[in-house]
A = this chain, B = another copy of it.
């Protein structure tokens, strides 16, 4: 077998939860997708809910640190983050489900808090806080990226170019 069982279960669960959410996911289906056994799921992760949380923990870092933050070139960072989102729609869906079905949990996740803290600090060191407080500017930029990724009518190249332009105007 390719990887060890807990790993395969996590991956299969990520797919299932991304497609159907917590309430819509089926434990039997996760077991089948993992090529593993139902009892292994309960042995390793305890319950469906706990498994969902572990999946999020497992993937959140991947999503947060996929694109290295660049306080100097904020428009470029935004564009690269958008590209990652477009390339990994399952992870975006996973986070949306989690936001709806486990409200507030993500905001309290240490990895998330730490990553955001570092970004704010880097941004503050680069630009200072007077023109536009770093945390709030970051919020605008991240909101813009996720928002346009959601709305996403136009083709990716246009969206990326427009996003780059928009963030340039924000920081300019």
Contact = CB atoms under 8 A, between A and B. Distances in A.
Contacts of A153: 107, 135, 139
Interface in A43-58: none
A23 interface: yes
Interface string A115-159: 000000000000000001001110110111111111111100011
Contact of A151 (B93, B146, B166, B170): B146
Interface residues of A, number: 40
Contacts of A150: 99, 143, 146-147
Contact of A100 (B21, B132, B140): B21
B136 A158 contact: yes
A172 B139 CA distance: 21
Contacts of A70: none
A160 to B, nearest CB: 11
Nearest to A163: B140
Contacts of A110: none
Contacts of A101: 21, 24
A162 B139 contact: yes
A169 interface: yes
Contact of A148 (B93, B139, B166): B139
B151 A136 contact: no
Interface of A: 20-24, 93, 96-97, 99-101, 107, 132, 135-137, 139-140, 142-154, 158-159, 162-163, 165-166, 169-170, 172
7 contacts: A23-B23, A96-B96, A99-B150, A136-B158, A146-B147, A169-B170, A170-B170
